[in-house]
Amino acid sequence: MSPDRHSESVENYLKTIFLLAERWEGSVGVSALAERLGVSSPSASGMVRKLVEAGLVDHARYAGITLTPSGRESALAVVRRHRLIEMFLVTELDLAWDEVHEEAEALEHAVSDRLLDRIDDRLGHPRYDPHGDPIPGRDGRMPEVRARRLPELKFGEGGELVRVDDTDPEVLRYLDAHDVRLGDRVDLLTRKPFDGPFVVRLRRGDAADRTAADAEEEWGPSLARALWVGADEPA
């Protein structure tokens, strides 16, 4: 059974707290929450107090924000709607992967549970969205993603590109322009000095429409942090 729905503002806060905790594996600070939502810190603090009163989050003094069980359940429901909508827009309506995030942001609050279940059935119950993000199941269970951000790899490690941060469409457009796709093999070779770019070997898939199969690329820190690699073995 789906949890009770909240206002669009509350849903956005719960989802954002979940996503920040998912990305950084810990509690979430008010300043990070405010920055991600594009609001002032006082505004974010005020909403967090309301969420605490509603039993949706915990926030101890000088500590981060964490979702309560009911808050997590509600957040997962929003995340599920968002990621299924993104998958539908890409696979059924042929939108590009850099176009669907904003559309899903609006539609996730309007789609009914019945329609969402039909979308899920139509898509064959996908486990991951177009950016490699896991899609919570109807029971709230989250598929596992065994991956690390590219900068967390040691030199010589590599694996399949399994996930891309979708918050910056410029990153997605850059990857498209340079023919980098989920499923490609990425090996971290080295890093240029003075916090320079990461040097990687990119091994593209063998689809007929691909450019040169293997290439050495230099990716800046912000791009590298947006990429998750399923590390498996030294290159």
Condensed to tens digits (0 to 9), the pLDDT of residues 162-201 reads: 999 988 999 999 999 999 999 999 999 999 999 999 999 9
* Confidence tier at 116 by pLDDT (50, 70, 90): very high
Residue 85 to residue 226: CA distance in whole angstroms: 21
**pLDDT beyond 60 at 102:** yes
Domain boundary among 144, 165, 199: 144
More confident residue, 45 or 214: 45
Looking up tokens 């920040």 gives 20
Same domain, 100 and 166: no
Taking Cα atoms as reference points, which of 127, 125, 132 lies closest to residue 97? 132
- Asked whether residue 234 carries a pLDDT value surpassing 60, the answer given is no
pLDDT-wise least confident of 26-35, 71-80, 86-95 = 26-35
pLDDT at residue 75 above 80? yes
Provide the domain limits for residue 206: 148-234
Q: Are residues 140 and 177 in the same domain?
A: no
User: Is pLDDT above 60 for 233?
Assistant: no
Q: Tell the residue number behind the tokens 């509690």, with chain if given.
A: 27
Please tell me whether residues 158 and 46 are part of one structural domain. no
CA dist list (Å): 109 to 48, 106, 127: 20, 6, 21
110 lies in the same domain as 162? no
Instruction: Say which amino acid occupies 105.
Output: E
- Model-level pTM? 0.89
